[in-house]
Amino acid sequence: MRKIGFLGLGIMGRGMAANLVRAGYQVTVWNRTPRACDPLVELGARRAGSIQEAVRASEVTIAMLADPAASRDVALGPDGVVACLQPGQAYVDMSTVDPDTARTIADAVNRVGGRFLEAPVSGSRKPAEEGTLVILAAGDTELYREMQPVFEVLGKKNLHFGEVGQAAAVKLIVNMTMGGMMGLLAEALALGQNCGIDGQALLEVLDSGAVANPMFRLKGPRILVDQHDPHFPLKHMQKDLRLAVGLGDERQQTLPTVACVNETFKRALAAGLGDCDFAAVARVLQAREGGGP
């Protein structure tokens, strides 16, 4: 497959699409806000004036969208992907959605004779730009095999989890774990601040023992200087936590820790931090927010 449609050029999508252009694929791009296509067109992509124009120009269409509502709208709307998908044509949704949304889109694609793969990714802006994402796929196994050259451009690892919906579940589990870790790091640094402990020294201690991990190493210093340019927007993390809690309810699996973390992220969202990096959740926990030192 050399002709690729790419729908959605946000923080993640623009880096992914750019890597495909650089790798020599014929990429046709579409975005709700047309000016987001400009840098990709300058790089060598083709601009589509509509979703269907991108689909018709492509052997496989990839979507990287913000949430389940956007995925459903782009795939299932009257001018969406399914409305013009031809038998045998492929659609790969790499957005983070709930399993029900993935299955609904898959069913619609299959009904018109198309082929569907869900393939959400683990990673943020920098891995998207560097082509080092982890791709979590499920669905059509033959399409998964055909997508290997594409996935190798976009990521450092990809796995197949069986039936559609399973990859969506894995992605929510990954992100709820990451959100929980971030919430705990933010609380740890806030408590340290309240106790008068040097934040950098505390991070060094955390990085020297069993809880050492790349996310703390990357995000901890940014929390200390309150610098939160978005690599993974807080509003998207809160969305994923909400979806994880919903999946737990559906499966009758209690998730008390995730539910509590979600409430903290909801506070941060209400405080207007949605477009900041998800590490900005620390702002609602810092001592100065509560009148401390």
Identify the pLDDT of residue 42: 98
State the CATH architecture for 169-288: Orthogonal Bundle (1.10)
Q: What is the pLDDT of residues 63-97, one digit of tens each?
A: 999 999 999 999 999 999 999 999 999 999 999 99
Identify the pLDDT of residue 159: 98
Q: What is the pLDDT of residues 186-237, one digit of tens each?
A: 999 999 999 999 999 999 999 999 999 999 999 999 999 999 999 999 999 9
Residue of 3, 156, 171, 239 marked active site: 171
Token look-up 């031809």 returns 86
What does pTM read for this prediction? Answer: 0.94
Identify the pLDDT of residue 289: 44
Coil, helix or strand at residue 126: helix
Comma-separated ranges of CATH 3.40.50.720 domains in the chain: 3-163
- Mean pLDDT, all residues of the chain: 96
Mean pLDDT over 90-113 rounds to: 98
Comma-separated ranges of CATH 1.10.1040.10 domains in the chain: 169-288
Q: Which fold has domain 3-163?
A: Rossmann fold (3.40.50)
| Catalytic residue status for 219 | no
Q: What is the pLDDT of residues 239-265, one digit of tens each?
A: 999 999 999 999 999 999 999 999 999
**Is the pLDDT assigned to residue 139 strictly greater than 60?**
yes
Give the count of beta carbons closer than 10 Å to the beta carbon of residue 202: 18
Identify the pLDDT of residue 1: 77
